[in-house]
Amino acid sequence: MSKKLGALDYHSSGRKGKIEVIATKPCQTAADLSLAYSPGVAEPCLAIQQNPDDAYKYTAKGNLVAVVSNGTAVLGLGNLGALAGKPVMEGKGVLFKRFADIDVFDIELNTENPDEIIKACQLLEPTFGGINLEDIKAPECFYIEETLKKTMNIPVFHDDQHGTAIISSAALLNALQLTGKKIEEIRIVVNGAGASANSCAKLAIALGVKPNNMIMCDTKGVIYKGRVEGMNPYKELFAADTPFRTLEEAAAGADVLFGLSAKGAFTPEMIRSMAPNPIIFAMANPDPEITPEEAHAVRGDVIMATGRSDYPNQVNNVLGFPFIFRGALDVRATAINEEMKLAAVHALAKLTREEVPDSVSKAYGNEKFTFGVNYIIPKPFDPRVLLHVAPAIAQAAMDTGVARQPIEDMAKYIEQLECSQGKSKEVMRMIINKAKSDPKKVVFPEGDNEKILRAAQTLVEEGIAQPILVGDKKKILQKMDELNLDLDVPIVDPTESEHTESYAQELYRRRQRKGLTLTECQRIMRRKSRVQFATMMVAQGHADTLLGGIDTHYPETIRPALQVLGKQAGLSSVHGLYMMVFKKEVYFLADTTVTIDPTAEELAETAILAAEKVAMLGIEPRIAMLSFSNFGSVDHPQTRKVKRAVELVKERAPGLIVEGEMQADTAVVPELLEGFTFSKLKTPANVLIFPDLNSGNICYKLLRRLGGAEAIGPILMGMNKPVHVLQRGDDVNDVVNMAAIAVVDVQNV
């Protein structure tokens, strides 16, 4: 799938757009309704009337930000208008929520009159705790923000200006440290005179750059004292007393080159003319003013940053605005002032110089990050950014007197921030990035299925796996054409493959005393079962793992795999593990998959294999063996079986945290668990082992359909070679996730 179609599909699939409103209080009964609305809602209304600050206590105002735009400067696309800018504003809301748990209403104003935008924002002040201005063109954006900051009593922040400035300034401080240059001695050239360039220049001066060493250029050349053409009051602030008149002249001998302009604005000749150890931040999107390859081809002492994620040192605004607003909201700041911006700069710069934890490396495919020329700014998925920037913002707000609710215990506040970071999506991203570090060959027996083809496109584009499609080659190619997919992957047609006969011979060797003739094996390989064919590819080493079942019933996929590959030596059965992803937590549910009523020995196997798999995914397993009894409260053959299974696990794997037999709510509710002081489980279990296939199957399907969990699985455990099964009805994302798990499974064989 082309990137264009992929983006359109992403936004249009399922519930349209990227955001929704979720109620935070129950409304299930008449009593709930009477509290949520009339008559109960009158009480907080009256309280707020008496004390307006109570709005932060009784409403969502304190965690609600308005993302306001008129669409006059949408990304690098220009004046698209308010409506066309809405996807960007929704996206901003996604990032606020994902990185700082801040709720957002996106507000697109259909006007280019700055005074109308100002009036609209002022009228909205009772609703919001803060306002993020976005994609409003210069110079109007300067006037709008300046006026709102003077007239409103909540923080107003134009991210296009200050976000880029904060991130690039942090990177600049670190680049200067690496080169040994002093900020008060450098000469910096800023190419561009719009919102971002204006703020970058201001912040660099605030950090110590001497004003006359700050040279700003626009499309007409250097902005110098006495220039008349194309000037405005905002450019006039940076008019330098300099003989330079062109960007080329200004770049010669410069220490730093900031690009906030357009593709190709920096030439190799400019780079060659700069001072030793030049710092070049080419931040135009989507294409930088000069690429790192082009710059490094000219000289080897360059330190580069761009706005792109496919190069080191990405200047990404997501490192700023979510955490800046988090800190500002948490102290009920009346503004985001210069001191708060500088605090964010220093917090980001300092964080970059700290040792990077393994969790961050895992999130980026096990790439190692160490402070240096290719790592001068943190990564967006570094969870420590929240813990560094938000407290720095809060502290600066308190220090400068704009905090209406100061934080009394900063250490406790940081702990609260840490607790707010969910583990759900991070787990899957970690798995995907681990898969990307060493992609494996995944064979899909249902190669003509639309979802499989779309997933294969994603797997290739993101480098997660090497898909192999099995099926009628003409049919698959026709389907690709219909879907407009540009997919270059191996297609294996069993009717034409050079291996079909050898596969048939091998299947006959394995199954000749189990009812199959050679003729039947040849028919199976050529036409009857693509699953059998794909399984034989894995058996013969022509693929690393198999992922199938989206078009078939579960037994139709697992039975051929068991017949051809078999289970691991020493195991009594094959087992299954589901990853259930909730908003804030991840649970793993395991059962025996093919054994309806397992023995204690089989349950013990399930627990040990599940623990190994969960640990492989980078999570410490805490195992609960489930029953309808709590530690002997009911004496029954079924409870005795689970009790025996627990004993076997403790004998065979004494290092595991495992308990049981226990009821499901005891395993996951801290208050109930606390009553059993003898239990090895001191915190809720994250791996739940079900006593039979019946209970496990019912539970994970209800959690998926009624409990709002994202179910990933089943992850098969105990096979001789990795094989995984999709569910009928799985979507493209499910296929991608399971493929990533399959690749990681192969990596750990």
Q: Enter the tokens of residue 676.
A: 């059993």
Interatomic CA distance for residues 436 and 457, integer angstroms? 14
pLDDT value for 221: 95
Kindly list the catalytic residues: 92
C-alpha neighbours within 13 Å on the C-beta side of residue 346: 13
Interatomic CA distance for residues 504 and 468, integer angstroms? 20
Instruction: State the amino acid at position 71 in one-letter form.
Output: G
Interatomic CA distance for residues 238 and 231, integer angstroms? 11
Interatomic CA distance for residues 743 and 329, integer angstroms? 42
- In the annotated binding site, the residues are 74-81, 134-135, 160, 285
pLDDT band at 1 (very low <50, low <70, confident <90, very high): low
The residue that leads in pLDDT, 3 or 229, is 229
- In the annotated binding site for a divalent metal cation, the residues are 134-135, 160, 285
Q: Give me the helices (H) in 193-333, please.
A: 195-207, 233-236, 247-251, 268-273, 292-298, 321-330
- 590 forms beta bridges with 577, 689
Highest mean pLDDT among 230-239, 281-290, 389-398: 389-398
Q: Which residues are CB-neighbours of 744 under 8 A, at least 6 positions away?
A: 431, 434, 435, 616, 617
Q: What is the mean pLDDT of residues 13-34?
A: 84
Size of the chain, expressed as the number of residues it contains: 749
pLDDT value for 2: 61
Interatomic CA distance for residues 191 and 222, integer angstroms? 9
Instruction: State the amino acid at position 103 in one-letter form.
Output: D
44 CB-contact burial (10 Å; exposed 0-12 / middle 13-18 / buried 19+):
middle
- 521 forms beta bridges with none
Whether the predicted pLDDT of 426 surpasses 70:
no
Q: Enter the tokens of residue 176.
A: 């200067």
pLDDT band at 609 (very low <50, low <70, confident <90, very high): very high
Whether the predicted pLDDT of 348 surpasses 80:
yes
Nearest alpha-carbon partner for 247 in 265, 229, 234 = 265
pLDDT (tens digit per residue) in 624-677: 999 999 998 999 999 999 999 999 999 999 999 999 899 999 999 888 888 888
Place of tokens 């006959």: 508
Q: Are 116 and 42 in contact (CB under 8 A)?
A: no
Q: Which residues are CB-neighbours of 587 under 8 A, at least 6 positions away?
A: 579, 580, 668, 686, 687, 688, 709
pLDDT band at 175 (very low <50, low <70, confident <90, very high): very high
Share of the chain above pLDDT 90, in %: 59
Sheet with 256-259: list strands edge to edge.
Answer: 221-222, 214-218, 188-191, 256-259, 279-282, 303-306
pLDDT value for 359: 67
Q: What is the mean pLDDT of residues 30-58?
A: 92
Least confident of 52-61, 158-167, 373-382, 698-707: 698-707
What domains sit in the chain, N to C, each tagged with a CATH number?
Answer: 3-24+60-154 (3.40.50.10380), 162-310 (3.40.50.720), 319-421 (3.40.50.720), 434-565 (3.40.50.10950), 575-718 (3.40.50.10750)
Q: Are 565 and 723 in contact (CB under 8 A)?
A: yes
Interatomic CA distance for residues 446 and 184, integer angstroms? 64
Q: Which residues are CB-neighbours of 32 under 8 A, at least 6 positions away?
A: 25, 26
pLDDT (tens digit per residue) in 70-107: 999 987 788 999 999 999 999 999 999 989 999 999 99
Q: What is the three-class DSSP state of 68?
A: strand
Whether the predicted pLDDT of 502 surpasses 70:
yes
Q: What is the mean pLDDT of residues 500-514?
A: 86
Average pLDDT, whole number, for the chain? 90
pLDDT (tens digit per residue) in 114-161: 999 999 999 999 999 999 999 999 889 999 999 999 999 999 999 988
Whether the predicted pLDDT of 576 surpasses 80:
yes
User: Quick one: CA torsion of 155, 161, 166, 168, rounded to 10 degrees?
Assistant: 170
pLDDT value for 309: 84
The residue that leads in pLDDT, 98 or 171, is 171
Share of the chain above pLDDT 70, in %: 98
pLDDT band at 424 (very low <50, low <70, confident <90, very high): low
Helices 637-652 & 600-616 angle (0-180, nearest 10): 50
CA 567 to chain centre: 35
